Amino acid sequence: MEETRIINIPGMGAVRMRKSRRATRFSISVTNSGDVRITIPRRGTIGQAKSILHEKSDWVAKHREKACRLRLRHEAFVVHCNPVSREEATVILLERFDHLARKYGFSFNSVSIRNQKTRWGSCSARKNISLNEKLARLPRRLTDYVLLHELVHTRVRNHGEDFRRELGKYVEDVRGLRRELREYRLGLF
């Protein structure tokens, strides 16, 4: 049985402590809202959890600051968010995907548009491509980067040097675009 308690830790405030039968070690996390959580393994104690939190206070502070920056970025991002319905996203993405596939001579089995929580896109071994509907809200250069990334996977299955070389034939500044894409968090859409 899992048990959860909220305990006030000096310098951290309220910390959610959850005792788990399945956990094999202590695990600390900081949510996007800056809340601190610790999972306690079956044989662990609250005293041990407090001690670990004290030892890891610098790590916790660093990740809380990161969560704060993320919230600020989220608030600024929402102002500029381009709201697109699922139907509009499907039309936009399928048209652009088809255009790029024809332009560069890529072949694929199927393409589907989904509301995914953790990925912008994926390509299966059978060349079935799945795209996140949220791609339609990104700037065109980032949408094209993801679409071409998945299309290149129809030719090169991994992310090795051959893949980077092939992607570089169709996309300028791959590193810069990848860095820029990381600024857009799927959970914030």
Phi-psi region of 34 (alpha: psi -120 to 50; beta: other; left: phi over 0): left
Look at the alpha carbons of 98, 104, 109, 113 in this order and tell me if their dihedral is positive or negative. Answer: negative
Amino acid symbol at 98: D
**Residue range(s) defining the domain that contains residue 158:** 86-188
Our count of domains for the chain comes to 2
- State the pairing for strand pair 128-132/110-114: parallel
- pLDDT value of residue 78: 44
63 plus 154 within the same structural domain: no
The CATH number covering residue 151 comes to: 3.30.2010.10
123 plus 67 within the same structural domain: no
What string of pLDDT tens digits covers the 189 residues of the chain?
A: 468 888 888 777 788 899 999 999 999 998 877 789 999 999 999 999 999 999 999 898 888 777 766 555 555 444 344 556 778 888 889 999 999 999 999 999 999 999 888 899 999 999 999 999 999 888 899 999 999 999 999 999 999 999 999 999 999 999 999 998 988 877 555
Rounded CA gap, 28 and 37, in Å?
Answer: 6
State the Rg of the chain over Cα. 22
- pLDDT value of residue 79: 38
